[in-house]
């Protein structure tokens, strides 16, 4: 069976998914929707698929089994409702919504329709994540150090909307939400968040309204403490989560797809031969549709709302920036 998939939004993420689906034998792309006609033309020419500027028309004419929604997070409710009412399964890019009010409305639509749903938290599909999740299953984790370092703010040709906090939400909302989601997947629910932000490398001004760096301290309901460091001003790419206790010391490298360290004094080492995470998450979505089994999806919309809550709380505490009394 070929799973018929349509895509709405043909920007960077949408085109990435279109490229990925060309490698998946069980998926047929049956339509793409984009309001910008020039961008749409580029996508239809590149990928050889029928294009639409009307979303409902695309759903009615192309009759997909599933739709991949790659629009800004404030544009979700209408798109999900139109698909869900037609029994079309929904893959929704992260962040799942702009705020919790919208997220709850979307979640209600998905619940009532019963369609399979997935959110683009691709790290959950990493073989290295599966490996470390099994390693720590019966072990104690007490402290966590995580870091996501990137150089987006140093790239002159990077799309400027990334640096408009009202649109992108900055590094917390656009990137760190992946760390929040994966940490929840491995460790449990977050209870409290505090932190600080700064612009020591790239100053705010003009169309650059985001912090270039921040640090957070998170406390989980089970008592685990986590320190997360994040920047868009690092001239390379580095993403790691380090799990520590009296029983273990493990490093999960999400760039390499590897796990190294020790568990109860014994050395462990793992590196995935293949960790194309976007392909793995889309294959899981297609398989869930084909077999009518949502268990293949590791990041459901309902669960993703908790990751959204952590990100929104982080944005709030970073903006507070209280000073110590002199």
Written as one string, the DSSP assignment of 41-83 is: HHHHHHHT--EES-HHHHHHHH--SEEEE-S-TTS-HHHHHHH
Q: How confident is the model at residue 326 (pLDDT cuts 50, 70, 90)?
A: very low
pLDDT value at position 167?
87
Q: What is the pLDDT of residues 15-64, one digit of tens each?
A: 999 999 999 999 999 999 999 999 999 999 999 999 999 999 999 999 99
In this prediction, residues 153-166 reach a mean pLDDT of 91
Asked if pLDDT for residue 274 goes beyond 90, the answer is no
Cβ atoms 218, 228 nearer than 8 A: yes
Per-residue exposure over 206-240, b if at least 16 CB sit within 10 Å of its own CB, e if not: eebebbbbbbbebebeeebebebbbbbbbeeeebb
pTM of this structure? 0.95
At 114, give phi and psi (nearest 5°). Answer: 80, 10
Cβ atoms 268, 135 nearer than 8 A: yes
Sign of the alpha-carbon dihedral angle for 178, 183, 184, 186: positive
- Closest-CA residue to 168 (of 185, 189, 186, 153): 153
Helical axes 301-320 vs 100-113, angle rounded to 10°: 180
State the Cα angle at 41 between 16 and 156, rounded to 5°. Answer: 55
Residue 95 belongs to what H/E stretch?
Answer: none
User: What CA–CA distance (Å, rounded) separates 24 from 122?
Assistant: 16
At 91, give phi and psi (nearest 5°). Answer: -105, 120
At 10, give phi and psi (nearest 5°). Answer: -115, 35
Both tokens assigned to 240: 């790691």
Length of the chain: 326
Q: How confident is the model at residue 159 (pLDDT cuts 50, 70, 90)?
A: confident
Both tokens assigned to 80: 């999900």
In this prediction, residues 98-119 reach a mean pLDDT of 97
pLDDT value at position 320?
84
Pairing of the two strands 248-253 and 190-198:
unpaired
Asked if pLDDT for residue 149 goes beyond 70, the answer is yes
DSSP secondary structure of 258-319: EEEEEETTEEEEEE-S---HHHHHHHHHHHHHHTT-GGG-SS-HHHHHHHHHHHHHHHHHHH
What is the overall mean pLDDT for the chain? Answer: 95
Phi-psi region of 246 (alpha: psi -120 to 50; beta: other; left: phi over 0): alpha
DSSP secondary structure of 198-242: E-SSS--BTTB-S-SEEEEEEEETTS-EEEEEEES--SS-EEEEE
Both tokens assigned to 3: 């799973």
Percent share of the chain, pLDDT over 90: 91
pLDDT value at position 322?
56
User: What CA–CA distance (Å, rounded) separates 228 from 250?
Assistant: 16
pLDDT value at position 275?
66
User: What CA–CA distance (Å, rounded) separates 128 from 99?
Assistant: 31
């Amino acid at each position: 069976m070929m799973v018929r998939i349509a895509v709405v939004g043909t920007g960077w993420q949408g085109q990435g998914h279109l490229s990925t689906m060309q490698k998946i034998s069980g998926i047929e792309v049956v339509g793409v929707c984009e309001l910008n006609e020039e961008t749409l033309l580029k996508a239809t020419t590149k990928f050889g698929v029928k294009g639409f500027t009307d979303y409902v028309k695309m759903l009615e004419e192309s009759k997909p089994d599933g739709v991949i929604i790659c629009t800004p997070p404030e544009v979700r409710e209408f798109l999900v409702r139109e698909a869900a009412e037609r029994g079309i399964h929904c893959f929704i890019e992260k962040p799942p919504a702009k705020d919790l009010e919208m997220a709850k409305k979307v979640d209600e639509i998905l619940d009532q329709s019963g369609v399979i749903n997935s959110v683009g938290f691709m790290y959950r599909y990493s073989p290295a994540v599966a490996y470390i999740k099994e390693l720590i299953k019966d072990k104690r984790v007490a402290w966590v150090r995580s870091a996501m370092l990137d150089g987006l703010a140093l790239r002159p040709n990077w799309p400027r909307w990334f640096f408009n906090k009202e649109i992108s939400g900055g590094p917390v909302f656009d990137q760190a939400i992946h760390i929040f989601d994966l940490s929840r997947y491995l460790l449990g629910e977050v209870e409290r968040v505090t932190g600080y932000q700064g612009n020591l490398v790239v100053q705010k001004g003009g169309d650059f309204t985001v912090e270039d760096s921040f640090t957070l301290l998170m406390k989980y309901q089970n008592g685990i403490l986590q320190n997360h460091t994040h920047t868009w001003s690092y001239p390379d790419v580095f993403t790691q989560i380090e799990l520590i206790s009296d029983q273990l010391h493990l490093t999960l490298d999400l760039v390499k797809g590897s796990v190294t360290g020790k568990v109860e004094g014994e050395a462990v080492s793992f590196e995935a031969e293949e960790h194309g995470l976007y392909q793995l998450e889309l294959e899981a979505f297609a398989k869930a549709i084909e077999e009518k089994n949502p268990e293949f999806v590791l990041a459901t919309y309902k669960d993703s709302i908790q990751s959204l809550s952590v990100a929104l709380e982080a944005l709030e505490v970073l903006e507070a920036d209280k000073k110590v009394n002199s």
